[in-house]
Amino acid sequence: MTRIITFASSKGGTGKTSVVVNLGVAMAQLGQKVVLLDADITMANLALMLGLEGQKTTLHDVLAGEARLSKAIYDGPQGVRVVPSGISLNGIRRARLERLRKVVAGLARKSKFLLIDAPSGLDRDAIVALTMAQEVILVVTPDISSLSNALKTKMVAERLGVKLTGVIVNRATGRRVDIPGDDIASTLELPVLATIPEDSEVRHSAAFGEPVVTYRSRSPATHEFKKLAATLVKASPAG
């Protein structure tokens, strides 16, 4: 059974794309068949974080009905496969979101884990990314605005009937200003699956088009991403 997981948060900059990239590559390192789908079709940057930008055929072309899905799947680090979105305004205009369901079904056949990078906000593209998933993992930073936005995303996901698996707390500083993990869990009524520390190597590696899990194998964020990857793999029976 393929696990189709959307990583969401209504707030921008909480680290959805960073989590999808690093978790995906860490799972691929564990020998899993992983596909990453950039469903942030207006602010695409998943490919950029993997050094795969500037591809000729992207999700936009597939959603426009102008290219086959197989032409928009690229090989990334450690055997992870990636479906990037384009950045051209014309491509965004031509894309038909209703075609996404077929794309997701096609990718699910090719993978054990399909990780979907959702857009920020709660516009139609974000809602569609939520409905595509079997499960949603919220990515929050430990501050009040991120938490209150995540609560909104959670309510929308529940209304859509999508299962919420848990929350990833990202950019934790370990200082007293951080909302404690227990409070985040009780507010969202979801388990905290991982706490990823604020780690400057995440940003550095992204600037070089590399995930931190391959760029800095011993950095604190890498450690937590790998731990989470192992947990998710272990919780998902083979087959």
Ligand X SMILES: Nc1ncnc2c1ncn2[C@@H]1O[C@H](COP(=O)(O)OP(=O)(O)O)[C@@H](O)[C@H]1O
Which positions touch ligand X (CB under 6 A)?
12-18, 120, 170-171, 196, 198-199, 202-203, 206, 221
The identity of residue 110, as a single letter, is: K
Closer to Mg ion at the Cβ: 17 or 141? 17
Task: Tell me how far, at minimum, the Cβ of 193 lies from ligand X, in Å.
Answer: 15
Of 36, 76, 8, 25, nearest in space to 221 by CA: 25
Closer to ligand X at the Cβ: 64 or 136? 136
Task: Tell me how far, at minimum, the Cβ of 231 lies from ligand X, in Å.
Answer: 18
> Binds 18, which of Mg ion, ligand X, none (CB < 5 to 8 A, cut-off by type)?
ligand X
Rounded CA-CA distance 224/95 in Å is 36
Closer to ligand X at the Cβ: 221 or 233? 221
Phi and psi of 107, rounded to 5°?
-70, -35
> Would you count residue 10 as binding Mg ion (CB under 5 A)?
no
Closer to ligand X at the Cβ: 112 or 149? 149
Closer to Mg ion at the Cβ: 5 or 233? 5
Task: Tell me how far, at minimum, the Cβ of 11 lies from Mg ion, in Å.
Answer: 11
Rounded CA-CA distance 133/229 in Å is 18
Of 10-18, 180-188, 196-204, 228-236, the segment contacting Mg ion by CB under 5 A is 10-18
**Of 6, 10, 17, 58, the one binding Mg ion by CB under 5 A:** 17
**How many of the other CB atoms lie within 10 Å of CB of 132?**
23
Q: Alpha-carbon Rg of the chain, whole angstroms?
A: 16
> Binds 79, which of ligand X, Mg ion, none (CB < 5 to 8 A, cut-off by type)?
none
Task: Tell me how far, at minimum, the Cβ of 219 lies from Mg ion, in Å.
Answer: 20
Task: Tell me how far, at minimum, the Cβ of 13 lies from ligand X, in Å.
Answer: 4
> Residue with CB nearest Mg ion?
17
Task: Tell me how far, at minimum, the Cβ of 109 lies from Mg ion, in Å.
Answer: 25
> Binds 3, which of ligand X, Mg ion, none (CB < 5 to 8 A, cut-off by type)?
none
What are the strands, taking DSSP E only, across the chain?
3-8, 34-38, 74-75, 81-83, 113-117, 135-140, 163-172, 192-197
Please give the full DSSP string across 12-77, using - where no structure is assigned. TTSSHHHHHHHHHHHHHHTT--EEEEE---SS--HHHHTT--S-SS-HHHHHTTSS-GGGG-EE-G
> Binds 202, which of Mg ion, ligand X, none (CB < 5 to 8 A, cut-off by type)?
ligand X
Give me the residues paired with residue 4 across strands.
Answer: 114
Q: What angle do CA 19, 104, 131 make, to 5 degrees?
A: 75
- Chain residues binding Mg ion by CB under 5 A are 16-17
